[in-house]
A and B are shown apart, each in its own frame.
Chain A
Amino acid sequence: DAGVIQSPRHEVTEMGQEVTLRCKPISGHNSLFWYRQTMMRGLELLIYFNNNVPIDDSGMPEDRFSAKMPNASFSTLKIQPSEPRDSAVYFCASSLAGITGELFFGEGSRLTVL
């Protein structure tokens, strides 16, 4: 079975540019999570959705970050404008059993902002 699919796997962009990260959760999973991982701050939960509805976005660092889930099979995380401090690996994860269930992670999108 296909796991969580993220794209792009790697993105290099210049400061000020818009970045869009994409995620396709596992079919049938009803919760989706976006995480950010850096050496300095570790793994941070940015936002999560249940049944396509955003539940908590208190982890989103700034208004430059936004996330959408227009349907059960697709979500985006957008950064506009991007800054060098946004450089990180961004993970998407999905869960079959709601927001407290076992998480299945994608392989991540490594973002470098120059």
Chain B
Amino acid sequence: GDSVTQMEGPVTLSEEAFLTINCTYTATGYPSLFWYVQYPGEGLQLLLKATKADDKGSNKGFEATYRKETTSFHLEKGSVQVSDSAVYFCALSAISGNTPLVFGKGTRLSVIA
């Protein structure tokens, strides 16, 4: 079945460091791909998405490019801030249209000043 694998955390970075959180997927066809973020004490919220190959999703300085050749959707940010400390979830939406989003296990990011 469809699945998402993302790098295990926790990830600890200093402020202004470069961030990469890896995400790869297994799915039939070309699913839509998402990154969700969960700040402490809150629910998940959509950070960015891409619906077809080579699309780049971006928001709040974060970017991710849909790479069908490597079945990946890695999340990147050039300069993280303390306020980016959160748990990040990669997810996919199957093209079959009859199953909910499939989430990865989440990666906790801590940014220290």
Which positions in A face B, CB cutoff 8 Å?
Answer: 4, 33, 42-43, 45, 48, 91, 93, 98-108
Contacts and interface: CB of A to CB of B under 8 A. Distances in A.
Pairs A-B, 4 closest by C-beta atoms = A105-B43, A100-B93, A105-B44, A42-B105
Q: How large is the interface on B (under 10, 10 to 19, 20 to 34, 35 or more residues)?
A: 20 to 34
A42 B101 contact: no
B45 interface: yes
Contacts of A98: 97
B42 interface: yes
B46 A107 contact: no
A50 to B, nearest CB: 10
15 contacts: A42-B105, A43-B106, A98-B97, A99-B98, A100-B93, A100-B100, A100-B101, A102-B46, A103-B44, A105-B43, A106-B43, A107-B41, A107-B42, A107-B43, A108-B42
Interface of B: 32, 34, 36, 41-46, 49, 89, 93-94, 97-101, 103, 105-106
B35 to A, nearest CB: 12
A102 B49 contact: yes
Contact of B34 (A102, A105, A106): A102
A43 B103 contact: yes
Given A42-B106, A100-B97, 20 more contacts: A43-B44, A43-B89, A43-B105, A43-B106, A45-B100, A91-B43, A93-B44, A99-B98, A100-B98, A102-B46, A102-B49, A103-B44, A103-B46, A104-B46, A105-B44, A105-B45, A107-B41, A107-B42, A108-B42, A108-B43
Nearest to A102: B46
B49 A33 contact: no
A42 B88 CA distance: 12
